Amino acid sequence: MLLRLDLQLFSGEKTEKATPNKRREARKKGQVAKSNEVTSAMILILSFGVLLIFGKTMVEGCLNIYRQSFHEYMLWDLSISSVALMFNQLLWQSVKLVAPILAVAMVAAAVGNYMQVGFMFNFESLKFNFSKMNPLTGLKNMFSMRSLVELLKAMLKISIISSVVFMIIWKQKDQLLIVGQKSIYDFARLIGSLVIEIGLTGAGSLAAIAAADYLYQKLSFEKKIRMSKQDIKDEYKKTEGDPHIKGQRRAKQRQMSMNRMMQEVPKADVLITNPTHFAIAIRYDIATMDAPQVIAKGQDYVALKMKEIAKEHKVMTVENRPLARALFAAVEVGDSIPEELFNAVGEILAYVYYQEGRYKEMMR
């Protein structure tokens, strides 16, 4: 009794890797191994990379807006139309400045998600779930292991990025102390270089955190979707034992088998029929075969279809009811004609060859 109980408990432990079907079901529900830090790190790296390359152009654009505002807009007459025109021009110039960064950020976000989970659009996550409004569930999630890991991760990010910012600023402290003595261009160059250096270094640090977090998310996800031996057995029974699925599989197999047979009918030397209920396609190659072979056979609708294909490809049809019934019952597709039926089939082949003028060629 105790042994049986232990076996039941063991079979209920989730120790097995998830099956492909389990993974597909989890993916449909939006459950995948994904780290948001990977996307954040990629957005920061590419965005600050754009600033590094096009930063000078963006500064020039900002200065042009500044100059235009004081050299042109200050001289305009104040009216509704002039204010609207000024707003449209400033908006368009601002969009042109920030559009490259926004475009790169959007591409980086898409690439970061695609690298982790591929293309996936899930409607399940958009559905309203009332269980999320349960305060007990909320408290349980607040004090879960996942929440603790997220808290530690946030503290680690803050600590690392703060340290990076402090070291970079401390290294430039002498330049920052005399910033009031610099021109506007030198000031902008110093602040811009500091911002880009802080951004790229912080993004690199975040990338290292993201790699570790993705590994943790992957292991956590694999553990979450593990299955017990009983789960695997139940899934197998559900998929393999479902009569509907079995019926679909058998129907598909029959269709494939019939298609293969129909492709063989044009290769036949003769089609022996019942004439309506049975059809057997016979082929004989004297160079490669010891005896004629049944390359296709069918009953009722399939027999009618075989006769149509034989007529279309000019394969001779011979009616012989007893022989057709005997061949259909005794010989499977791909098998040779049995010895007791060889003479009857041989007479029909000889007749076919004579009618088609192939008899003399075979006798040479």
CA–CA gap between residue 50 and residue 314 (Å, rounded): 71
- Give the pLDDT band of residue 318 (cuts 50, 70, 90): confident
Q: What is the torsional sign of CA 96, 97, 102, 107? A: positive
CA–CA gap between residue 249 and residue 342 (Å, rounded): 36
pLDDT at 113 over 70: yes
49 and 226 Cβ atoms separated by less than 8 Å: no
Return the minimum-mean-pLDDT range out of 130-134, 218-222, 285-289, 303-307: 130-134
What pTM, to 2 d.p., does this model score? 0.51
Q: Mean pLDDT over residues 232-256, rounded?
A: 70
pLDDT at 180 over 80: no
105 and 199 Cβ atoms separated by less than 8 Å: no
Sheet holding 278-283, edge to edge: 293-299, 278-283, 270-273, 316-319
CA–CA gap between residue 106 and residue 100 (Å, rounded): 10
Query: By C-alpha distance, which of 300, 330, 314, 301 is closest to 271?
Result: 314
pLDDT at 6 over 60: no
Top pLDDT among 358 and 330 is at 330
pLDDT at 5 over 50: no
Structure confidence by residue, pLDDT tens digits, 273-296: 887 788 888 888 887 888 888 888
DSSP class of residue 334? T
Q: Mean pLDDT over residues 235-260, rounded?
A: 70
CA–CA gap between residue 144 and residue 218 (Å, rounded): 18
51 and 45 Cβ atoms separated by less than 8 Å: no
Alpha carbon 87 to chain centroid distance?
A: 46
The strand pairing partners of 272, in sequence order, are: 280, 318
Portion of the chain with pLDDT greater than 70, in percent: 84
Helices and strands counted in the chain (H then E): 14, 4
Q: Which amino acid is at 180?
A: G
- Strands 270-273 and 293-299, bridge-based pairing: unpaired
- 80-117 and 36-71 helices, crossing angle to 10°: 160
Tokens standing for residue 163: 């340290």
What is the per-residue pLDDT for 244? Answer: 64
Q: What is the torsional sign of CA 215, 219, 225, 231? A: positive
